[in-house]
Amino acid sequence: MNTPKVSDNYYKEREGVLKVALELNSIGCIFRETPNGDIGIDGQIEYINDRGEATGKIVAAQIKSGNSHLIDKGDHFAFYPNEKHKIYWSMFPLPVILFVYYPNDDKIYFTDVRYQLRIPKQNRGYLVLDKNSVLNKQSAKNIFETTGDLSVPYYPIEQVFSLMINTVCQNPTFNISYLDLFTQGLTNLCRHVYFSMDLAMEIADYNNETEFGLGMGYDEHEFLHAYANFLMNQNLASIDYSDYLIDWKERQLQPTFIAPLTARGRELLEFIKNIEGKFKTELPPTTLVRERFIEMRFRTPDDYMRMALGKKLREIADITKV
């Protein structure tokens, strides 16, 4: 009979897709398979939290099946993508998770290939799949690692403000709060927030009232890292967390970014402006505050006022009643 034939490869690839879909379903993730042509992405996966709520944390999935896709390198597997897929995955707007069903041990291994492909000076000709990265209930959250922390709930804006003003680095020579970093990082007519090591050092230098110079070490870097995570976890700015982690984890650098404020970020900004209006009359004369900023490169006209305001607000015992 002269009819279309189905190759063995079709069944092999479908086996991988079905096994991944079944595993994702069993661990409580939503898998949306691509209904039309496969051009390097087989579907999308959305994280569902412990309360059964859709989170909007989404990654793309590419699924392969068969022993030939993985080369055993001892402590890890190697996957050799073709050039067109490397280009496509590296430019994709979502993290791209590669899943490989390995019949030899009946396991599904996975890795974030977009993340690996974006690491500068990555000289390997292949992508690494760690032998411990096996898809199961315990590892499910690792699929979404480059989308941000999945465990932190959104707080009301009043509480966000309270946390930001009260979260202060404990080092007196690096006296800086989350609110300092946020307000002094506002740029592009307050449509974006900027962050860099230089910005943090300038704020800390202004706030330093000790007889010592700035002190900067592991704890201070962790404090700044926690601030960036706070912005992302509270959805205050649209930060590319995958790109952020490449500097933080792979290059061991304090990342620099400029990110647009979200609707929640703009709501926080309006809340801050209302607070500013209540306390401006209690601040030192503008000329006195401005003198401290002659050598500083802040980016909005009210930066010097907001810096003094930050110190004023720290004196208030119950900030949530402001």
Q: What is the pLDDT of residues 100-112, one digit of tens each?
A: 999 999 999 999 9
Q: Are strands 257-260 and 30-33 parallel, antiparallel or unpaired?
A: unpaired
Among 116, 146, 176, residue at a domain's last position: 146
Asked if 68 and 133 sit in the same domain, the reply is: yes
Indicate the helix (H) or strand (E) that contains 17.
Answer: helix 8-26
Asked if 122 and 188 sit in the same domain, the reply is: no
Which pLDDT score is estimated for 6?
Answer: 67
Among 146, 177, 201, residue at a domain's last position: 146
- Cα–Cα distance, 20 to 23 (Å, whole number): 5
- Cα–Cα distance, 238 to 219 (Å, whole number): 25
In sequence order, what are the beta bridge partners of 232? none
Which pLDDT score is estimated for 296?
Answer: 45
Name the stretches of the chain with pLDDT < 50. Answer: 286-301, 317-322
Asked if 185 and 99 sit in the same domain, the reply is: no
Asked if 161 and 129 sit in the same domain, the reply is: no
- Cα–Cα distance, 251 to 60 (Å, whole number): 25
Number of H helices, E strands in the chain: 11, 11
In a domain, 287, yes or no: yes
Asked if 180 and 126 sit in the same domain, the reply is: no
In a domain, 24, yes or no: yes
* Sign, Cα dihedral of 167, 157, 195, 113: positive
Asked if 130 and 68 sit in the same domain, the reply is: yes
In a domain, 152, yes or no: no
In a domain, 151, yes or no: no
Q: What is the pLDDT of residues 8-31, one digit of tens each?
A: 677 777 888 999 999 999 999 999
Domain interval for residue 82: 8-146
Which pLDDT score is estimated for 290?
Answer: 42
Among 81, 116, 146, residue at a domain's last position: 146
Q: What is the pLDDT of residues 165-203, one digit of tens each?
A: 889 999 999 999 999 999 889 988 889 999 999 999 988
In a domain, 2, yes or no: no
Asked if 14 and 90 sit in the same domain, the reply is: yes
Asked if 114 and 163 sit in the same domain, the reply is: no
In a domain, 20, yes or no: yes
Which pLDDT score is estimated for 87?
Answer: 92
Asked if 120 and 221 sit in the same domain, the reply is: no
In degrees, to the nearest 5, what angle opens at C-alpha 17 toward C-alphas 15 and 22? 95
**47: CATH:** 3.40.1350.50
In degrees, to the nearest 5, what angle opens at C-alpha 245 toward C-alphas 244 and 248? 95
Is-contact 138 190, C-beta < 8 A? no
Number of domains into which the chain is organized: 2
Sheet holding 186-187, edge to edge: 186-187, 192-195, 257-260
Which pLDDT score is estimated for 304?
Answer: 61
Asked if 136 and 171 sit in the same domain, the reply is: no
Asked if 175 and 275 sit in the same domain, the reply is: yes
Is-contact 40 97, C-beta < 8 A? no
Coil, strand or helix at 48: strand
Q: Are strands 96-102 and 54-65 parallel, antiparallel or unpaired?
A: parallel
Q: What token pair was written down for 311?
A: 């110190």
In a domain, 133, yes or no: yes
Asked if 244 and 138 sit in the same domain, the reply is: no
